[in-house]
């Protein structure tokens, strides 16, 4: 499972920093339209994540993931030749459907193989390899793409499409017996368990809100708002953006395993609170890049933003997936992961249009202020709201064998 991560996300890294650049500067779509287009994938993901979670619990995570990978191949290939907003929108709809089901399917697949006490470590190592792939792709993409040469952008999107083929082959071959249909115990009426019932769990409801806020001020902005601010306000070059994403990856690859050792046995909610403070400092650095546009200092500040943000990522990524899967019973794992995914997708729907509107209307300072406040809210939610609702064991605290775990 870990063997395909670098290859798959190398393709992602080739295009991730340049989606706004490709659609706005190369294809010539208005920045406001680009924000709406980039809001399509999370919107479609939000629409399909509910049925996707039910399907995972009924037919198995592996089969759903096979469909996901196929859609990603088609969607990215189509985006390479998108000459109109309509074609680009169709391509992004396909990738959005795929991403909407990918997270709960893959997390459920992982949880079916990796035991509870190793999940936090697995998610951390997976995230390290993921970012290694993205970082290599970002560096190569930054050196390769040229806004004056359409063919360079088409090439990277086609490579991104091809990067999902190894995972397809792996799931069709060596892993064909992994994460099939869930075996239910007699008397389990899983089909009658609604998403509303899942959200009636106080801890899961709080974790869902926390996931929404962290997505809005975090990854949704790193992928759309940060490049838009860097280009339009900070006047940073495409190579500078590639350098920033490479710095982001370098920090994760170097520090993730060290961070995993430091947070092992500590309360996951406190780790998330520290992440919120760190992300707030990252957005402060981005804001200062807009004060000195078009300079080397602006490029370095954008790179500093991406680097500091990466430190926060090393705290967040091992914790939230582990919390979700430690709260979820096996027969509802798809639905629990779908709820978490829906929270991230829902925030990602509104994040690109929000950043596009604020940046496009010269409200960059308002945009930065909104992100800083949101990051601090993340920490407050984690400690004041979620922590009292978790048992120490689920919250990552080592419980001695002689002591019964709280429920």
Give backbone dihedrals phi and psi of 146, rounded to 5 degrees, phi first.
Answer: -140, 125
Could you tell me which residue, 133 or 77, shows the higher pLDDT?
77
Q: What is the pLDDT of residue 403?
A: 46
Record the tokens describing residue 268, joined without a space: 């996951």
pLDDT band at 81 (very low <50, low <70, confident <90, very high): very high
pLDDT at 358 over 80: yes
| Residues whose CB falls within 8 Å of the CB of residue 31, separated by 6 or more in sequence, listed in order | 20, 24, 228, 232, 356, 359, 360
Look at residues 12, 117, 6, 112 and name the one whose alpha carbon lies nearest to residue 333: 112
Q: What is the pLDDT of residues 241-269, one digit of tens each?
A: 878 877 888 898 899 989 998 998 899 99
pLDDT for the residue numbered 103: 81
pLDDT of residue 182: 57
Residues 236, 298: contact at Cβ < 8 Å? Answer: yes
Q: Which helix (H) or strand (E) holds 332?
A: none
Span 370-395, average pLDDT: 94
Q: Mean pLDDT for the chain?
A: 87
Which of the residue ranges 1-5, 42-46, 193-197, 211-215 would you say has the lowest mean pLDDT? 193-197
**What is the DSSP code (8-state) at residue 328?**
S
Confidence tier at 61 by pLDDT (50, 70, 90): confident
pLDDT of 276-303, one tens digit each?
A: 999 999 999 999 999 999 999 999 999 9
- The 10s digit of each residue's pLDDT in 201-232 is 899 999 999 999 999 999 889 878 898 899 88
* Upper half-sphere CA count for residue 210 (Cβ side, 13 Å): 29
CA dist list (Å): 91 to 73, 94, 97, 104, 208: 10, 5, 10, 21, 28
What structural domains and CATH numbers belong to the chain? 2-174+195-389 (1.20.1250.20)
């Amino acid at each position: 499972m870990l063997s395909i991560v670098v290859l798959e996300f190398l393709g992602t890294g080739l295009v991730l920093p340049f989606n706004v650049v490709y659609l706005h500067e190369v294809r010539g779509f208005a920045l406001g339209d680009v924000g709406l287009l980039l809001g399509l994938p999370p919107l479609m993901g939000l629409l399909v994540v509910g049925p996707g979670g039910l399907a995972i619990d009924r037919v198995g995570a592996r089969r759903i993931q096979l469909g996901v990978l196929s859609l990603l191949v088609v969607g990215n290939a189509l985006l390479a030749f998108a000459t109109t907003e309509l074609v680009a929108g169709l391509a992004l709809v396909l990738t959005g459907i795929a991403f909407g089901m990918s997270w709960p399917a893959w997390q459920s697949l992982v949880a079916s193989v990796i035991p509870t006490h190793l999940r936090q470590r697995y998610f951390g190592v997976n995230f390290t390899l993921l970012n290694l792939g993205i970082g290599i792709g970002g560096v190569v993409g930054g050196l390769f793409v040229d806004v004056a040469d359409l063919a360079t952008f088409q090439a990277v999107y086609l490579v991104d499409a091809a990067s999902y083929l190894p995972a397809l082959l792996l799931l069709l071959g060596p892993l064909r017996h992994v994460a099939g249909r869930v075996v239910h115990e007699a008397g389990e009426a899983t089909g009658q368990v609604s998403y509303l019932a899942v959200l009636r769990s106080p801890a899961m409801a709080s974790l869902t809100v926390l996931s929404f806020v962290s997505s809005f001020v975090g990854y949704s902005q790193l992928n759309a708002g940060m490049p838009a601010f860097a280009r339009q306000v900070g006047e940073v070059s495409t190579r500078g953006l590639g350098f920033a994403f490479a710095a982001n990856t370098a920090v994760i690859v170097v520090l993730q395993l060290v961070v995993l050792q430091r947070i092992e046995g500590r309360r996951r909610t406190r780790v998330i609170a520290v992440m919120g403070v760190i992300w707030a400092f990252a957005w402060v650095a981005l804001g200062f890049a807009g004060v000195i546009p078009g300079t080397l200092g602006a490029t370095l500040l954008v790179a500093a933003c991406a680097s500091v943000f990466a430190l926060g990522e090393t705290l967040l990524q091992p914790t939230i997936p582990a919390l979700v899967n430690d709260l979820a019973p096996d027969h509802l794992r798809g639905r629990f992961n779908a709820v978490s995914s829906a929270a991230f997708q829902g925030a990602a729907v509104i994040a690109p249009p929000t950043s596009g509107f604020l940046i496009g209307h010269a409200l960059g300072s308002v945009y930065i202020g909104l992100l800083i406040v949101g990051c601090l809210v993340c920490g407050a939610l984690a400690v004041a709201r979620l922590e009292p609702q978790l048992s120490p064991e689920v919250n990552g605290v080592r419980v001695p064998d002689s002591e019964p775990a709280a429920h």
